[in-house]
Each structure stands twice: as C-alpha cells, then as structure tokens.
Amino acid sequence: MLPEQPPTEVVRGACHHDCPDTCAWEATVADGRVVRLRGAADHPTTQGQLCPKVNRFVDRVYHPDRLLEPLRRVGEKGAGRFEPIGWDEAIAAIAGKLTQITATTGSEAILQFSFDGTQGAIQKGVLADRFFDSIGASDIRRHLCGVTAWLGAADVSGLPFGIDPEDLEHSRTVILWGTNTLLTNRHLWPMIEGAKAAGATVVVIDPIRTPTASAPEVDAFLQIRPGTDVALILAMLNVMDRDGIIERAWIDERTTGWEDLRRSFAEMPPETAAEITGLTVPQIEWLARTYASNRPAAIRVLVGPEHREHGRDIMRAIALLPAVTGAWKDLGGGLARSTQIYFEEALSFPTDRPQRRRFNMAALGAVLDDDDLAPPIEALVVHNSNPAVICPDQNAVVRGLERESLFTVVVEQFMTDTARYADIILPATTQLEHLDLMISWGHLYLALNQPAIPPRGGALANTEIFRRLASAMGIADPRLQATDEELVRDLLDTDHPWAADITYEQLREAGWVRLNVPAGHRPYVDTVPATDDGRLQLGSLRYRPGTETPDGAPGVAGRYPLTLMSRKQHVKFLNANYGGFADHHPREGEPLLEIHPDDAADRKLVDGDMVVVENERGRLSIRTKVSSAVQPGVVAIPFGWWHGATGAGRGVNALTNAAVPSDGAGSAFFHENLVEVSAVS
C-alpha cells in the first residue's frame, strides 16, 4: 500500500518582481511546505504560465544560502564575515546607533535607500517610509528607472495615462520602441501575436537586434543609432506633414503648440535624419506613412529609451506621435507605456508625507563619499535593493560602502554584494511568506498576495522589522504599528470609480480583480488631458546628442570610440535578482561583451578572447562574443551580474555614467558611456 499523501492547500498570490507582467500565481502547500508554484490559469495576462525566472522561485525560498537569522559583521567591510545575533540584540543595536547619530550629527545623516526589490504596495515601503519620515532621515529619489519615461509622457498629457495593453490586439500597426517584449514582457506577446494574426504590421525600433527584433512576427526591424530617436520622430512628422496624412481637425481641436512643433520638424527632413540615425530615407518614409495611415496604430514603449541625458526628450517625442496623429481616437491606438498611474489614481496612496532631504539614487557613490556634505551620511539603511550592483559608477559606490565611519544596515534574503558591506544584516521574508497588495505597470489587474507558509527561520517581513525599530526608538505613532492587513485595507479605502467596491474580502477569495476602468477606455478622448488648457501639448522639439556620445564629445570619443550599452538580456535574470545564483546563469556562466565583427577585426579580436573594457570611471576584464546583433561602434554588456562574475570583482556598472538631469529628477544616463576595448596583454 502506498503511503498516505499529506493534504494540500492552494494559496493564491502574485509575483513581486519589477516586471510589467505581475503574474498571478497559485502555491500548493503540503505539510507546511510549498511543493508547487504555477501561474494562475484564470488570470487574463498570466494564463497559467510563469517565466523562467519565477518557475524556480520555490528553490529560492528553500535555498541553502538563504539568510534566516540576523548577522553582525566581524571582519573587514566587504569580506563577508559575520556572526549570528538575536533579533532583540540586532534591533537594539540599530536603534541605539540611529538615536546616537540623530542626537549628535542630526537625523539627516541617516539615509534610507530602497527600490523595487519588491513592487508590493505594502512590503515595498509603507512602514519604512513612515519610520524614516518620523525621524527626519534623508531619502533618495527613486528615479533609476521609470521616472524619466513618466516625465516625458507627462510633458504632453499632464498625467501619462496609456492604453490598456490588452487592447493591442485591435492594433493594425504595432511599434515596439526600445523594448525587448519577448524577454522582459513575455506575457504581452500573445497580444502581439493576436494583432499579427489579424493583419497587423509589427515594427521593432532598437539599437540592438534583440530576440524580439528577430521574432518571425516582426515585419520590420529598424536598427537606429543609440539615442537618435528624436531625430527619427521629427523626420516622421516632417514626412506626414509633407504628404498631407495628418488630420488637422484633431490638431486644431485637441492640441496646443502645433506651429512651434511644425517649425521644429521642418528643420529635420528625412535626409538629415538618415545621416543622424543610420536609417535610410525609404525606411523613415515607410515608417511615417505606415504609422499615420495603417490604423489603429499603437506604440509600445517601456523604459529602454529613457536612460540617456536627453531621455526625457525621447519619451516626450514618442508621446507626441499619437498626439499629432490622433491615434488615441481608435480602440487599439495610442501609447501603451505604463498602467501604474491607474493604480496610483485609484488607490489611497498617502499624499501628505513630509519633505525630506533627498538625493538621486544614481548618485549614491558621490553622496557617500562627499566630505563637504552637511551633514554627511553616517548611517545607510538598505531595503529592497542591491545598490552595489544596480547603481552606476560602481567603484564610487563600493568606496562609499567601505567607509568604516558608515554604519550600514541591510535587510535581505541572501548575501548580496551590498550585504557583504553591512554592519548588521536583517533577514527578510520572501513573497511566499508575507501579505502584500500587488499593483502592475503592465496591465490593469490588482492582486492580493497571501502568505502560503509562515516565515522561515527568523526571517521577518519588512513591515515587522520597521514596527520593531519604531518601538525600540520610542516612536509612539500608532500608524507605525498597523498590521499588514490594515495597511492593505487602507489602500483599498477609496471612492475612486476605478477601485470602488473592490474589497479585501473579494481579493482574498478571488486572488485578483480588474480595476473598474471601462473596456476600450481611450485616454484623452474619453477623458481630458490634465494640462492647463485641457489639450495635448505639442511645442518645439530638437534633437540633441548626449554629452558622452560620439557626436556630443568627439574629443573623448577619440580615446574611447565605442558606445557601451548595459542590456537586460538574460531569460533567468531580472535586474540584479538571481544574478548571484548559478542555476539562473546562462549557459556560458559569465557575462560577455558583445562586439560587432568589424570592431573586433579592427582590434584583432576573435570570439572568446579575454579583453579589457575601460573608460575614465573604471575597467573590466571580460570575454568577448563577436555578434552582429550590435551595430558597428556599439558594444553591450549585460546588466545585473554580481561582482564575483568577473575576475575584476565588478560588473558593467563599473563603467556606466552616473550623471543625472540637472534638477536631479530622472534616470541616470546608463546607456551613454564611451569606452575602449583591447585584448588582455
């Protein structure tokens, strides 16, 4: 007789990763252990399928290297030598140090650093923000990704709403602009396939031939020179106006600033744009006519084009295309960028938080190493992030983390490159062990992530950690002792029509529910743009090369003639998540430098050679992959690998540009880096 199988329970939840898909999932639990994790078959986007990253998420939860008790540093910073301590001792030590710094130097000497290690509305930082707000600590602008795209689109529409990505199935022209959908947004691909099957023309615009660009569904791949998108768009508008395929009634009724924009694109005929972009005049003219005439026409763009000095201009220019053509009028037409703003408008996110001293997170290295900062940073508390890997100018970040005068606390699940520099590490729960409310930037479905198992070992949810810290520091604010369920209910306590009548009980039962956005909703047609005059804003626009580009810095390019891009290209990575796990590495087991055959030949390099990639910020030893996926003059190194993946103990961000817009708002210029590549002697 076979042994009796233990009873099982299925618990509904959702993925927390920084990905537009936000998949709903079902965890099967037996004897208190998760034995299976699969995508929710009834979820319209997930459709029963998780991605290769998350298919092995259960392995992560039970990984032997998981941190399950608080640790205190006993070796040099970065050496990774720690000893276990109890939670009471750890919390007391942190609270004591933060109290001391507040009393002596001031609370602004404490810096909170966090990002999208989880996108959950609760565990991402509700109580963490309340805690640091209450003590008056310094904060960061979480602008490493996404904000530039938001600002550029908002320059046109006031608030940057986009179409429901599900409506792409109605499109007859789909432009995938700087986005590798097959890899980074794989659950959208069925919508692209559906549109293609119904007769759509699918176009990819990208500096690199990605797997998406090579997909059989793609009719045209336009390999544009990096950062020249504005020139292409101005030329498209020039062609549309020249050929009389722009609907002037829409422009007159719905927009402001047409004549200023018209003067701008008059200076960019397709012949000039061809020289700048590397495309041909026929390609530019075909794209303009197809987009304007083959309707409904939609552009899908995420954050790829924004990581440049003039990324806001690029994102604004992309948003200008449907504003000029009136593509918003058609179901399946317009801009499919991000849906996150629907959730931000619908839910009761706090709007009355105090203002704190803030720094752009891309400048972390400079901030930690700034002797003239008043007050200087004496304590760094990191949660939901691995800044030693994700921030540009990595060498500066590591120098800052190495400071013995810096007290560093890291809330983590594993010994990341950042955690190795911590004074105290606090073990955090995984998505299968805590409650959270999941919004999405790739669809309109809200999900409740219910804990499938209790926290493993001594791990605690982020929320519980900050409750304990608040208590230890004598902060009496009752809002800092709210339970996770109360926090979820607070967010759902809204009378906005898009979330009206969506309840905690409904989500607990069903797992997920769609916001009440009407089917076929057309932004800026069914609603009014949130601009001063209620019209879409056009206005003047010009192409400007970035400072660290061949056109913008010919002198620097003489020494460093290649443009480096840091790609998110691994099927089993997501940003820095999984970058330190061998089971998630690609077959070659190491990051590779992609270099065009012409550039390789000029340097007498062949596939597999070990090379040095360097610029004024740093140098990296890495192996080559000679590939025509990159164009001449462009090289690429994948983003997200941990330091130990290379002999130099550094990743691509040892080379990347930490510059940010002058007002501090927006992404670092990750993709504008001039480098030289040479064989290891």
8-61 folds as N-terminal domain of TfIIb (2.20.25)
Q: Inform me whether the pLDDT recorded for 235 exceeds 90.
A: yes
Averaged pLDDT, 461-483: 97
Q: Which CATH class is domain 554-679?
A: mainly beta
Instruction: Let me know: does 413 contact 384? Beta carbons within 8 Å.
Output: no
Confidence (pLDDT) at 3: 67
> How far apart are the C-alpha atoms of 307 and 339, rounded to whole Å?
20
φ, ψ of residue 116 to 5 degrees: the values are -105, 40
Q: Which residue in this structure is represented by tokens 């994102």?
A: 315
Residues of the chain with pLDDT > 90: what percent?
Answer: 92
Angle between helices 258-266 and 311-325 (to 10 degrees): 110
147-337 folds as Dimethylsulfoxide Reductase; domain 2 (3.40.228)
Report CA-CA distances (Å) from 550 to 38, 228, 300, 445, 461: 47, 12, 28, 43, 47
Confidence (pLDDT) at 540: 98
> How far apart are the C-alpha atoms of 332 and 329, rounded to whole Å?
9
Confidence (pLDDT) at 1: 59
- Ranking 71-75, 144-148, 518-522, 578-582 by mean pLDDT, the lowest is 578-582
Q: Positive or negative CA dihedral for 568, 381, 479, 133? A: negative
| Number of neighbours of residue 495 by Cβ within 10 angstroms | 8
> How far apart are the C-alpha atoms of 356 and 139, rounded to whole Å?
6
Position 582 confidence tier, pLDDT thresholds 50, 70, 90:
confident
509, 477, 507, 481: which is closest to 492 by C-alpha?
507
Position 164 confidence tier, pLDDT thresholds 50, 70, 90:
very high
Q: Inform me whether the pLDDT recorded for 461 exceeds 90.
A: yes
Instruction: Let me know: does 154 contact 319? Beta carbons within 8 Å.
Output: no
Averaged pLDDT, 423-434: 98
Structure tokens at 545: 């090369």
Residues of the chain with pLDDT > 70: what percent?
Answer: 99
577 compared with 253, residue with greater pLDDT: 253
| Number of neighbours of residue 440 by Cβ within 10 angstroms | 27
Q: Inform me whether the pLDDT recorded for 563 exceeds 80.
A: yes
Position 517 confidence tier, pLDDT thresholds 50, 70, 90:
very high
Q: What DSSP string describes 459-485?
A: -B-HHHHHHHHHHHTT---GGGG--HH
Q: Inform me whether the pLDDT recorded for 196 exceeds 70.
A: yes
Averaged pLDDT, 419-441: 98
Position 357 confidence tier, pLDDT thresholds 50, 70, 90:
very high
Confidence (pLDDT) at 372: 93
Confidence (pLDDT) at 170: 97
One-letter amino acid identity for 436?
D
Strands 110-114 and 139-141 come out as: unpaired
For the chain, the average pLDDT equals 96
Q: Inform me whether the pLDDT recorded for 581 exceeds 90.
A: no
Position 669 confidence tier, pLDDT thresholds 50, 70, 90:
very high
Query: What does the domain layout of the chain look like in residue ranges?
Result: 8-61, 71-144+359-514, 147-337, 554-679
| Number of neighbours of residue 618 by Cβ within 10 angstroms | 19
Q: Inform me whether the pLDDT recorded for 569 exceeds 90.
A: no
End-to-end CA distance of the chain: 68
- 66-120 confidence digits (pLDDT tens): 999 999 999 999 999 999 999 999 999 999 999 999 999 999 999 999 999 999 9
Q: Inform me whether the pLDDT recorded for 574 exceeds 80.
A: no
> How far apart are the C-alpha atoms of 529 and 535, rounded to whole Å?
6
Averaged pLDDT, 467-477: 96
Q: Inform me whether the pLDDT recorded for 438 exceeds 90.
A: yes
Confidence (pLDDT) at 219: 98
CATH of region 71-144+359-514? 3.40.50.740
Q: Inform me whether the pLDDT recorded for 179 exceeds 80.
A: yes
Averaged pLDDT, 160-167: 97
